[in-house]
Amino acid sequence: MTRTAGDPGGTLVLDSDGLAKAVLRERAVTAWLALARADDLRVITSAATLVEVVHPRINRPALEWTLSRVIVEPVTEPIARQAAALLSGAGLHGHKHAIDAMLGATALAAPGPVTILTSDPEDLVALCGTRATVVKV
């Protein structure tokens, strides 16, 4: 199958820190987002990530503007089951790693190649292995 002009060429995934840094317009994440737009990549996050990123001091208008440019993927039952399988495979517990696992499952369900921007690369590498490129931001 060949890619047509309107098809995304892969996916950039933001964890909570990647999303927070996008809201703050930090240079490194802004550069990744510009590259994603230039390369016609989908930019996504998990709905579960929103729970992590929202806090009383967050700039809500900046968050809403950033989210308007990101696809927020729902946590469906198949994603939740995949997240549980990722946790089991990595020997991690859902109590501490549930949101990372849901993000990882969301990333692995997205069109590849997949790159995940995260502040916690060790956990996402443990969950996703070599199926996604994990970049520390």
What percentage of the chain exceeds 90 in pLDDT?
90
The region that residue 54 occupies, defined by phi over 0 for left and psi between -120 and 50 for alpha, beta otherwise, is beta
Specify whether the CB–CB gap between 128 and 102 falls below 8 A: no
4 — pLDDT class (breaks 50, 70, 90): very low
Residues counted in the chain: 137
Structural domains for the chain: 11-136 (3.40.50.1010)
Q: What is the pTM of this model?
A: 0.91
Other residues' Cβ atoms within 10 Å of the Cβ of residue 61: 9
Q: What are phi and psi of 124, to 5 degrees?
A: -70, -30
Q: Using one digit for the tens of pLDDT, what is the confidence trace for 78-130?
A: 999 999 999 999 999 888 999 999 999 999 999 999 999 999 899 999 999 99
The region that residue 74 occupies, defined by phi over 0 for left and psi between -120 and 50 for alpha, beta otherwise, is beta
33: Cβ contacts below 8 Å, ≥ 6 apart:
12, 22, 43, 69
Between CA 137 and CA 117 the distance in angstroms is 6
What percentage of the chain exceeds 70 in pLDDT?
94
pLDDT surpasses 50 at 44: yes
* 95: its two tokens: 């109590």
Q: Using one digit for the tens of pLDDT, what is the confidence trace for 16-28?
A: 999 999 999 999 9
Half-sphere exposure of 121 (CA within 13 A, CB side): 9
